């Protein structure tokens, strides 16, 4: 039998189609009729994946004190189809809630996205374990309900809310970006909870069950072959000293501002206070959303982490930077003296307070003389070797940036601000090209004008001075896991562009500012301690938002620095009045663990500076 050419091809194609369809039909016959494993029974062929949630990692302070742990709460789940009419009264009283609350929850649940009466949905979230104990025993009376354990954060000490951060439920956006998360999961939203999310969260496990049409569990699927265990989250050892942190928050009560303390040798952040603060426990549990709204609407912005996000003018504390740049560039010498009689009078001029005159460099820092630093700043920018003020300014700016200004310090916390250091381009635009000179931007000499830094950057500056010329990346986590030994992120060491030799003159000036003889013109004698040599510098930073900010930064002891600290108190006036005593108390607390000047402590604790905010104008 021979096909002709036409029919042959048609026959082949038809044959191919029929063969393929027969193969498909054969496979269908196999999986639908022969292989019973796909239909173990008509009613137990649906798999249900029950997620096993790992406990989130704990957070300890540098001395092993527990800061953040977990507690068990329960989500009350419901499968509407299985619910039979029940005694709402009894149900509500078991949970210690009103019957209206239960009815509300039912309505809410049915409005959820993806709601199905056959699926398990959340009816009530995060019920405390105590409330569930009663219900758990009587649960058999209420078919269709189930209690699902979840863990939420428990704060053993109500400190460091801004550093620790908080967790919250994932939203659709996060889920679409990262398939690890499913609806109802928690994720770190701010602070360490966010930056160390991947270590803290652990790994979810899953149990696979077979359930019937009514979603009842019929047993483990293939003897748990596909189950996986949950892996607990790793712990964090952070660098904070919980006692110091707590003390700092206490001192800052009823004040707005920030304290940052760093261990100069390591770059470890010992305390990071942002005031006003809030109780971290407020952002846990069922009231979280309400509390969050209240905090967010508060005019004092308690959620805002001022330590790394607020930008302040550095004020007089910045004089030490100008002094160092001047020394490095040969624009001023330690023995250079300038006289000052009430201010610098060239151009618009800069006023000064009353102090002895003339002064050398160390004395100028001791007494915070504005005039002296106007001279230094102009000497740098107008140095003939640079040729132009633009060139001089760029040299100055590069030095300033080597101190960590104008760039993020890459601390291991989210949302760090980089501060502001102006550029030539900025001034060319602000004035016009060639339309500015060292006099127009004279405010920079005393840390005002177009400069802004975070409290962390200020603490880092004093770290540099304490170390005589370098800093290590500031960080808040020392180790991941249970070991107290550093095992993560060895911090990088950064040298400034200033030679080490010049720092001694600055240190001397800061020493004298605190420890100078009475009547010598020292600005921060209030901070002095008899047995600890504190070196410090005050600042009173002018700002457009009201009264001056009170600024102080210091390190101690002078010869073996163990702590470097910056204190900002918003709208509080002179640096010496508020910031200096706070810094002094913090240093004493950290180095001595006791307070020798209760009167000073009282003076700070009693002060309420909140109402000064809007007074100026």
Chain residues that interact with other proteins, rule: CB under 8 A: 6, 9-10, 12-14, 16-18, 20-21, 23-25, 27-29, 31-33, 35, 37-39, 42-43, 45-47, 49, 116-119, 206, 208, 213, 226
Three-state secondary structure readout of 298-348: CCCCCCCCHHHHCCECCHHHHHHHHHHHHHHCCCCCCCCCECCCCEECCCC
The smaller minimum CB distance to other proteins, of residues 41 and 98, is found at 41
What residues does 550 pair with on adjacent strands? 540, 569
| Crossing angle for the helix pair 242-251 and 579-592, to the nearest 10 degrees | 160
- Looking at the Cβ atoms of 176 and 606, the one nearer to other proteins is 176
Q: How far is the CB of 41 from other proteins (least distance, A)?
A: 9
Of 25 and 425, which has the nearer Cβ to other proteins? 25
Of 112 and 501, nearer to other proteins (C-beta) is 112
**CB neighbours of 554 closer than 8 A, spacing ≥ 6?**
462, 510, 514, 524, 527, 534, 535, 536, 537, 564, 565, 580, 583, 584, 587
Structural element, H or E, at residue 87: none
Q: Give the integer Cα–Cα distance in Å for 578 and 614.
A: 18
d(CA 584, CA 593): 13
In the complex, the smallest distance separating the C-beta of residue 36 from other proteins, rounded to whole angstroms, is 9
Cβ proximity to other proteins: between 25 and 133 the closer is 25
Please say which residue, 23 or 134, places its beta carbon nearer to other proteins: 23
540 φ/ψ angles, rounded to the nearest 5 degrees? -135, 100
Q: Contact 541/549 with Cβ under 8 angstroms?
A: yes
Q: In whole angstroms, how close is the CB of 20 to other proteins at the nearest point?
A: 5
341-345 contacts: CB < 8 A, separation 24 or more? Answer: 343/370, 343/371, 344/370, 344/371, 344/374, 344/375, 344/442
Smallest distance from other proteins to CB 26, Å: 10
Residue 143: CB minimum distance to other proteins, A = 19
Question: For other proteins, which is the closer residue by CB, 2 or 617?
Answer: 2
Minimum distance from residue 215 beta carbon to other proteins (Å): 8
Cis before residue 276, ω within 30 degrees of 0? yes
Minimum CB separation of residue 28 from other proteins in Å reads 5
Q: How far apart are CA 182 and CA 52, in angstroms?
A: 12
Min CB(207)–other proteins separation in Å: 11
How far is Cα 337 from Cα 189, in angstroms, rounded to an integer? 53
Q: Which lies closer to other proteins via its Cβ, residue 29 or residue 495?
A: 29
């Amino acid at each position: 039998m021979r096909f002709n050419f036409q029919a042959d091809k048609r026959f082949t194609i038809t044959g191919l189609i029929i063969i393929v369809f027969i193969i498909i039909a054969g496979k269908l016959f196999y999986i639908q009729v022969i292989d019973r494993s796909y239909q173990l029974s008509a009613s137990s062929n649906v798999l249900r994946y029950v997620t096993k949630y790992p406990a989130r990692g704990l957070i300890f302070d540098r001395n092993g004190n527990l800061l953040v742990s977990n507690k068990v709460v329960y989500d009350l789940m419901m499968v509407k189809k299985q619910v039979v009419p029940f005694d709402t009264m009894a149900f509500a009283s078991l949970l210690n809630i009103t019957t209206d609350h239960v009815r509300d929850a039912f309505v809410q649940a049915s409005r959820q996205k993806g709601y199905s009466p056959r699926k398990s949905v959340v009816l009530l979230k995060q019920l405390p374990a105590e409330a569930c104990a009663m219900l758990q025993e009587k649960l058999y009376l209420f078919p269709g309900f189930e209690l699902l354990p979840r863990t939420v954060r428990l704060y053993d000490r109500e400190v460091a809310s801004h550093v620790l951060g908080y967790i919250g439920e994932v939203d659709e956006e996060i889920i679409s970006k990262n398939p690890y998360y499913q609806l109802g999961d928690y994720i770190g939203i701010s602070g360490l909870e966010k930056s160390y999310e991947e270590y803290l969260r652990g790994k979810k496990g899953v149990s696979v069950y077979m359930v019937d049409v009514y979603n009842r569990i019929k047993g483990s699927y293939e003897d748990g072959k596909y189950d996986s265990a949950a892996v607990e989250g790793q712990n964090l050892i952070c660098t904070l000293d919980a006692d110091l942190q707590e003390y700092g928050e206490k001192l800052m009560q009823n004040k707005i501002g920030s304290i940052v303390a760093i261990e100069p040798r390591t770059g470890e952040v010992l305390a990071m206070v942002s005031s006003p603060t809030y109780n971290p426990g407020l952002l846990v549990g069922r009231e979280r959303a309400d509390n969050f709204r209240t905090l967010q609407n508060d005019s004092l912005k308690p959620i805002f982490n001022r330590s790394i996000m607020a930008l302040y003018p550095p004020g007089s504390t910045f004089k030490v930077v100008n002094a160092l740049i001047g020394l490095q560039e040969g624009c001023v010498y330690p023995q250079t003296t300038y006289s000052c009689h009430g201010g610098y009078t060239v151009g618009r001029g800069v006023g000064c307070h009353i102090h002895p005159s003339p002064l050398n460099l160390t004395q100028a820092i001791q007494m915070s003389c504005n005039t002296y630093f106007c001279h230094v700043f102009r000497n740098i920018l107008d140095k003939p070797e640079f040729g132009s003020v633009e060139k001089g300014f760029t040299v100055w700016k590069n030095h300033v940036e080597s101190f960590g200004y104008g760039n993020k310090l890459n601390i291991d916390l989210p949302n760090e601000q980089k501060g502001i250091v102006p550029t030539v381009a900025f001034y060319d635009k602000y004035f016009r090209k060639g339309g500015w000179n060292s006099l127009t931007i004279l405010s920079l000499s005393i840390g005002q004008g177009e400069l802004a830094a975070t409290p962390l950057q200020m603490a880092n500056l004093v770290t540099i001075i304490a170390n005589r010329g370098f800093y290590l990346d500031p960080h808040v986590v020392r180790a991941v896991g249970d070991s107290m030994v550093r095992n993560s992120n060895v911090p990088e060491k950064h040298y400034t562009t200033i030679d080490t030799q010049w720092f001694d003159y600055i240190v001397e000036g800061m020493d004298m500012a605190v420890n100078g003889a009475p009547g010598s013109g020292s600005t921060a004698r209030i901070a002095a301690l008899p047995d600890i040599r504190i070196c410090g510098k005050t600042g009173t930073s002018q700002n457009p938002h009201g009264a001056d900010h009170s600024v102080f930064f210091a390190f101690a002891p002078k010869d073996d620095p163990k702590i470097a600290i910056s204190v900002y108190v918003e709208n509080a006036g002179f640096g010496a009045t508020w910031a200096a005593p706070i810094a002094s108390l913090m240093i004493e607390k950290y180095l001595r663990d006791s307070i020798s000047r209760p009167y000073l402590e009282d003076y700070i604790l009693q002060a309420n500076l909140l109402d000064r905010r809007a007074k100026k104008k």
